[in-house]
Structure 1
């Protein structure tokens, strides 16, 4: 009857194979840069890049709105009346809220 050690395939007895296998398992699961962490960081990076793109678009939009407001007095007055509820001294302001 063969002993257990004799039944093990020869490749599993090789020191270099065992070292490489240990290194691979260590790097995939136990290291601070393991594969799970790398996947999470990849998802986080994609989210941050999407947010960056969104905010860059918003910055351009705000700059365009600012330029329009600085160059057009009527648009500035309209914004002040609608958004900030400002009025002239001789006017009365009524706010109508529609119920749904």
Structure 2
């Protein structure tokens, strides 16, 4: 029992335990806040990768539209429903895409 009391009252042990508890729960940059920030950083990096990929895809599409008249015509027909004189356009909607 006396040995246990000596261990508990050891000033280095008490200081170490106090330091660990302080750093885990009370510090400005505590453990739980760091975990939340790491999760947020991972989400933001995933969004950044998505937007970089979308920018590259859009740049390729723009390059294709500027250099290929057939692609420009296809783009105008699909996106803006343009047509040639004397043509009829029928729009068929996909029921699965309409539900989303």
TM range (shorter): 0.7 to 0.9
Q: Deviations over 1:13-56 (max 9, x none)?
A: 12232122111101111222111111111111112112111211
Cα 1:60–1:39 change in 2 (3 A) is same
RMSD: 2.3
Question: 1:70 is paired with a residue of what secondary structure?
Answer: helix
Structure 2 unmatched runs, 5+:
none
Which aligned runs of 4 or more in structure 1 are off by greater than 4 angstroms?
none
Q: TM-score, normalised by structure 1?
A: 0.78
When Rg is computed on C-alpha atoms for both structures, the one with the higher figure is: 1
Aligned to 1:80: 76
Q: TM-score, normalised by structure 2?
A: 0.78
Q: Aligned pair 1:71/2:58, yes or no?
A: no
Q: Which structure shows the higher helix fraction? A: 2
Cα 1:93–1:21 change in 2 (3 A) is same
